[in-house]
């Protein structure tokens, strides 16, 4: 990915931006991929209600067997941390 980044005219390597991305567990089956693919601090819980009932989505999520601290990050901690972070657009906005 990075070897072709010059064509994209980015200030940083594409992999740098990829590390900033967040994902969610909107599809209960995707919860299993959280364990392999994503950084736990960049995943947020999503139930995709009404397509999945929250109880079913949580059951699938719990079946993944993530450590308790990772579960807490995904279920609420990451969303709270993200909401507390200042946004780049807020810093750039002129008052």
Mean pLDDT by 10 residues, the chain (95 residues): 72 80 68 59 81 83 88 91 69 49
**Can you give the pLDDT at residue 35?**
53
Instruction: List the one residue out of 51, 59, 63, 55 whose CA is nearest residue 26.
Output: 51
**Can you give the pLDDT at residue 37?**
53
Phi, psi of 11 (to 5 degrees): -70, -30
**Taking phi first (over 0 means left), then psi (-120 to 50 degrees means alpha), and beta for anything else, what does residue 85 get?**
beta
**pTM for the model:** 0.64
CA distance 36 to 75: 18
Instruction: List the one residue out of 39, 40, 36, 58 whose CA is nearest residue 49.
Output: 58
């Amino acid at each position: 990915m990075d070897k072709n980044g010059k064509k994209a005219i980015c200030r940083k390597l594409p992999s740098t931006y990829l590390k900033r991305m967040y994902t969610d567990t909107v599809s209960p089956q995707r919860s299993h991929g959280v364990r392999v693919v994503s950084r736990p601090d960049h995943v947020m819980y999503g139930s995709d209600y009404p397509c999945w009932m929250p109880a079913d989505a949580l059951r699938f999520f719990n079946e993944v067997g993530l450590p308790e601290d990772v579960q807490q990050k995904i279920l609420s901690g990451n969303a709270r941390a993200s909401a507390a972070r200042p946004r780049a657009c807020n810093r750039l906005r002129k008052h």
